[in-house]
Amino acid sequence: MLNRIETKENFTDIEFPNGRITIEDDRIKIFNDEKPEKEIIELIKSNGFRWSPFWKCWCRKHTENAMHVTKKILLPKLQ
């Protein structure tokens, strides 16, 4: 298993229609070009992400579980 620092260094932003997913500030961040539908917002929130008014994105602490959730559950719904 790669540790968080190795994962961050090897991570390439994931683009999806109307947004992108990145790792910055030890957080996984989901940026949207426009407000997602209510169902998508509920899915994001139910998987541990919170809206950050400071960064203007959904974010969650960068952990192995957070990466798994992002890639296996959220990404397919965002695309």
Q: What is the pLDDT of residues 28-66, one digit of tens each?
A: 999 999 999 999 999 999 999 999 999 999 999 999 899
Contact 77, 23 (CB under 8 A): no
Question: What confidence score (pLDDT) does residue 59 get?
Answer: 97
Q: Please enumerate in sequence order all residues whose Cβ is within 8 A of that of 43, keeping only pairs 6 or more positions apart, or say none.
A: 73, 74, 77
Res. 8 pLDDT band, cuts 50 70 90: low
